[in-house]
Amino acid sequence: MNINIAIADDQKLFRKGMAALIGSFENMSLVFEAGNGLELLELCDSCEEKPDIVLLDLSMPEMNGLDALKILKEKHPSIRVVILSSHEVESFILATIQAGANGYLAKNAEPEEVELTIREVFKNDFYFTLPMLEIMRKGLVKKTNQIKLEEEDNLTPREKEVLQLICKQLNSNEIAEKLFLSNRTVEGHRNNLLLKTGSRNTAGLVLYALKHKIFDLDTLSK
């Protein structure tokens, strides 16, 4: 299946480089480029072929990436967004995930990581490397005194089990096979998790799991 990509970045040279890189990946197509957040929103509204994934820079004129992300998620919730940034700042990462981002890429990422992130976000709705998850966890620890944690009791043991497997970046088919459940049952648990946690998407579920210590990152490194 072909993956349609859009790029929003005010640095033309970087944008063109990313466009060439996308063109070198199998089964990926660039549908358009935008130089700022406003242009991105206008193109998403007007284009006949919507992007599956937008690679979105945070620092842009006219409208920055975070503001554009919030509006894009309201108007086109099915479009997945991977944030591009030169700075892996905890507060920025947390803010973008809470606003609905599906992934986060450093601008100096290797081409292989760019391709992997796009494919995983397309397949599983989110993707974060272990170092990125660790940055997110550290950011949440710093904010602990400012966050009033919700009770975990509203999640059933099975829902927590599904959530832990989601955090391990298993898709619904893999979770169903591991827990001997039907795909429909797993999707039901996923939808319940989104409702109960108030998360915008699967990436938000990961943030919730880290915040409430439902998932231990150490299990990923074993």
Q: Which domains does the chain have, with CATH numbers?
A: 3-140 (3.40.50.2300), 148-220 (1.10.10.10)
Please name every residue paired with 34 in a beta bridge, in sequence order, or none if there are none: 8
> Confidence band (pLDDT; 50, 70, 90) for 67?
very high
DSSP 99: T
Question: Within a 10 A sphere around the Cβ of 124, how many other Cβ atoms?
Answer: 18
Can you list the alpha helix ranges (DSSP code H) found in the chain?
12-24, 37-46, 65-75, 90-98, 111-124, 130-142, 157-167, 172-179, 183-197, 202-211
Whether the per-residue pLDDT at 220 is higher than 70: the answer is no
What is the pTM for the complete model shown? 0.84
Task: Round to whole Å and give the CA distance between 160 and 162.
Answer: 5
Which of 74, 92, 75, 91 is CA-nearest to residue 83? 92
Task: Select the highest-mean-pLDDT range: 44-53, 132-141, 150-159.
Answer: 44-53
- Which whole number is the average pLDDT over 38-42? 96
- With a pLDDT cut of 70, the percent of the chain lying above it is 92
